[in-house]
A and B are shown apart, each in its own frame.
Chain A
Amino acid sequence: MALKAINDPTIPTGGGASVGIVETRSFTFAEREEDFIDLDCGARLGPITVAYETYGTLDRSRANAILICHALSGTAHVAGYHEQTGKNPGWWDDAVGPGKAFDTDKYFVICSNVLGGCAGTTGPMSIDPRTGRPYGLAFPVVTVGDMVQVQRALLDHLGIDTLLGVAGGSIGGMQALEWVLRYPEQVRSALVIASTARMSPQAIAFNAVGRNSIISDRNWRGGQYYDDGVLPAQGLSVARMIGHITYLSDEAMHAKFGRRLKRDELAYDFTSEFQVESYLDHQGSKFVERFDANAYLYMTKAMDYFDAPEAYGGGDLVRALTRLRARLLVLSFSSDWLFPPYQSQELIDALLRAKKHVTYANIETPRGHDAFLLEIETEARLIRAFLDATHGAVTGG
Chain B
Amino acid sequence: MRQLLKGDEGRTDFSAIADWIEPGSSVLDLGCGDGELLEHLMLDKGVRGTGVDIDLDKIVACAAKGISVVQKDLNGSLDCFETGAYDYVIVSQTIHQLLEPDRMMSEILRIGRRAIVSFPNFGHYSLRLQLLFSGRMPKSSTLPFEWYRTPNIHLMTIADFEKFCRERALRILRRVDISGGRVRRRLFWPNLLSAGTVLLLGRMEPESR
Contacts and interface: CB of A to CB of B under 8 A. Distances in A.
Interface of A: 327, 329, 345, 348-349, 352-353, 355-364, 378, 381-382, 385-386, 388-390, 392-393
Contacts of A327: 68
Contacts of B68: 327, 356-359
B60 A382 contact: yes
Contacts of B63: 329, 359, 382, 385-386, 389
Given A360-B70, A389-B64, A382 B59 contact: yes
17 contacts: A327-B68, A348-B70, A348-B80, A352-B70, A352-B85, A358-B68, A359-B59, A359-B62, A359-B68, A359-B70, A360-B69, A360-B70, A360-B72, A361-B59, A382-B63, A386-B63, A389-B66
Interface of B: 26, 48, 50, 56, 59-66, 68-72, 79-82, 85
Given A352-B80, A353-B80, A390 B66 contact: yes
Contacts, number: 60
Given A357-B68, A360-B72, A361-B56, 8 more contacts: A355-B85, A358-B50, A358-B68, A358-B69, A359-B68, A361-B60, A378-B56, A389-B66
- The secondary-structure label for the interface of chain B is mixed
Contacts of B81: 352
Contacts of B80: 345, 348-349, 352-353
A193 to B, nearest CB: 14
B133 to A, nearest CB: 43
B136 to A, nearest CB: 35
A360 B66 contact: no
B59 A389 contact: no
Contacts of A363: 56
A298 B50 CA distance: 40
Contact of A361 (B48, B66, B71): B71
A385 B70 CA distance: 14
Contacts of A349: 79-80
A192 B112 CA distance: 29
A381 B82 contact: no
The 7 closest A-B pairs by CB, nearest first: A389-B66, A349-B80, A385-B64, A385-B63, A360-B70, A361-B71, A357-B68
Contact of A392 (B26, B50, B61, B66): B66
